[in-house]
C-alpha cells in the first residue's frame, strides 16, 4: 500500500470509527530517549513546584505538561511528517497544537484517565466536521496487561454517553506497539485500562485542533519561560500557536494581517 493509500485508509477509519493507528517510524534508540526524557521532564516539573506531593494534592501527578518546551525530542514527535499529513487531511490547512501531555501509567496505581472521557472536556455535542484529534504516541508498548486504551467506536457521532449495556458490548481495548500513534477523534469516548504488569506504561498525548480553540498551555510563552530555543520554521511556529495567540492591541492585530498578506 502506498503512503497516500495508507493515509486515505487512516482518514476513513478516523472519520467513521473514531480511531486509527499511525506508524511513527521511530527507532528503538529514539523511543528509549523519549522514555528517559519524559521521566526527566516530570521530575523537573515536580521540583519546580516543590515536590511530587504538591502534584498529588492538585490531582496532577504522573503527568508531564508541554514537554516540547523542555526536551527537543518532544518537538520532533509533535511535528513528525506522518502526523502532520494526517492532520492536514482531517482538519484542513490550518490547525494548532492545543496541548502535549506526557502520561505515566504506573502498575496497579490509581489513574485519573481510567474514567470514560473525551479530550475536548465537558463538550457533549457533535459536529459535521472534525474539530480536533488526539495523537497518543505510545512510548511503551500498549498491551492488555499494562492497561492499553479502551475506546467506544462511533461515539464521536453522538452527543450523549451510551448505556452501560452498550459499553459492555462494544468497548474495545487497543494493543498498539511502541513508536506508533493512536489517533482518536477528540470527541470519541475513551479511557485508560489498569496497568497490571510490572512495568510503567508511558505515552505522549497531543491534542491538535482548529485554531479558534485555546491551547491548554501558551506554548510560545512556555518556550520563553524554560529558555528553550524557539523553532524558526514558519509552519511549525504557526502550528505551535505563534500565529494564533490573541493580539496585544489593534495595531498588533493589523500588523499580523499585513505580515500574512506579504
CATH value at residue 36: 2.60.120.620
Q: Could you tell me if residue 11 is inside a domain?
A: yes
**By three-state DSSP, how is residue 112 classified?**
helix
The answer to whether the CB of 24 falls within 8 A of the CB of 137 is yes
> In 3D, which of 150, 181, 194 has the Cα closest to residue 34?
181
pTM of the complete model beyond 0.95:
no
Q: What is the pLDDT of residue 170?
A: 97
Q: Could you tell me if residue 72 is inside a domain?
A: yes
Q: Could you tell me if residue 137 is inside a domain?
A: yes
CA angle 101/103/105 to nearest 5° reads 170
Q: What is the pLDDT of residue 77?
A: 96
Mean pLDDT, range 25-52, rounded to an integer: 95
Task: Inform me whether the pLDDT recorded for 189 exceeds 90.
Answer: yes
The answer to whether the CB of 78 falls within 8 A of the CB of 68 is yes
Q: What share of the chain is helix, strand, coil (3-state, %, to 5)?
A: 40, 20, 45
Tally of domains within the chain: 1
- Beta-carbon contacts of residue 172 (< 8 Å; ≥ 6 apart): 150, 151, 152, 153
Q: What is the pLDDT of residue 252?
A: 85
CA-CA distance, 232 to 90, in Å (whole number)?
A: 25
Helix 81-91 × helix 3-16 angle, to 10°: 50
Task: Inform me whether the pLDDT recorded for 218 exceeds 80.
Answer: yes
Mean pLDDT, range 237-252, rounded to an integer: 86
Q: Could you tell me if residue 243 is inside a domain?
A: no
Q: Which domain holds residue 33?
A: 3-228
192 pLDDT tier (thresholds 50, 70, 90): very high
The answer to whether the CB of 157 falls within 8 A of the CB of 185 is no
Pairing of strands 63-65, 132-138: unpaired
CA-CA distance, 262 to 238, in Å (whole number)?
A: 16
Q: Could you tell me if residue 233 is inside a domain?
A: no
Mean pLDDT, range 51-72, rounded to an integer: 94
Q: What is the pLDDT of residue 233?
A: 93
**By three-state DSSP, how is residue 105 classified?**
strand
Q: Could you tell me if residue 188 is inside a domain?
A: yes
C-beta atoms surrounding 237 within 10 Å: 15
Q: What is the pLDDT of residue 17?
A: 97
pLDDT tens, 87-124? 999 999 999 999 999 999 999 777 778 899 999 987 88
126 pLDDT tier (thresholds 50, 70, 90): confident
Q: Could you tell me if residue 262 is inside a domain?
A: no
- Mean pLDDT lowest for which of 17-21, 172-176, 220-224, 244-248? 244-248
Q: Could you tell me if residue 77 is inside a domain?
A: yes
Q: What is the pLDDT of residue 10?
A: 96
Mean pLDDT, range 38-51, rounded to an integer: 95
Amino acid at each position: 500500500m502506498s503512503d497516500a493509500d495508507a493515509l486515505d485508509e487512516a482518514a476513513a477509519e478516523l472519520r467513521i470509527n473514531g480511531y486509527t493507528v499511525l506508524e511513527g517510524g521511530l527507532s528503538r534508540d529514539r523511543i528509549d530517549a523519549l522514555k528517559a526524557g519524559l521521566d526527566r521532564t516530570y521530575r523537573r516539573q515536580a521540583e519546580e513546584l516543590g515536590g511530587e506531593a504538591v502534584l498529588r494534592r492538585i490531582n496532577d501527578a504522573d503527568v508531564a505538561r508541554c514537554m516540547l518546551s523542555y526536551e527537543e525530542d518532544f518537538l520532533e514527535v509533535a511535528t513528525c511528517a506522518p502526523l502532520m499529513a494526517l492532520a492536514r487531511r482531517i482538519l484542513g490547512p490550518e490547525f494548532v497544537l492545543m496541548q502535549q501531555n506526557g502520561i505515566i501509567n504506573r502498575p496497579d496505581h490509581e489513574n485519573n484517565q481510567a474514567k470514560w472521557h473525551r479530550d475536548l472536556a465537558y463538550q457533549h455535542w457533535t459536529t459535521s466536521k472534525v474539530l480536533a484529534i488526539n495523537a497518543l504516541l505510545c512510548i511503551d508498548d500498549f498491551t492488555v496487561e499494562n492497561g492499553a486504551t479502551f475506546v467506544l467506536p462511533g461515539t464521536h457521532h453522538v452527543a450523549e454517553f451510551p448505556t452501560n449495556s452498550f459499553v459492555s458490548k462494544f468497548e474495545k481495548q487497543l494493543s498498539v506497539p511502541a513508536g506508533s500513534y493512536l489517533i482518536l477523534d477528540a470527541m470519541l469516548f475513551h479511557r485508560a485500562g489498569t496497568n497490571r504488569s510490572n512495568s510503567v506504561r508511558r505515552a505522549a498525548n497531543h491534542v491538535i485542533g482548529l485554531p479558534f480553540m485555546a491551547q491548554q498551555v501558551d506554548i510560545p510563552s512556555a518556550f520563553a519561560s524554560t529558555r528553550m530555543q524557539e523553532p524558526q520554521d514558519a509552519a511549525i511556529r504557526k502550528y505551535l500557536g505563534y500565529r494564533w495567540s490573541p493580539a496585544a492591541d489593534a495595531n498588533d492585530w493589523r500588523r499580523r494581517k499585513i505580515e500574512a498578506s506579504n
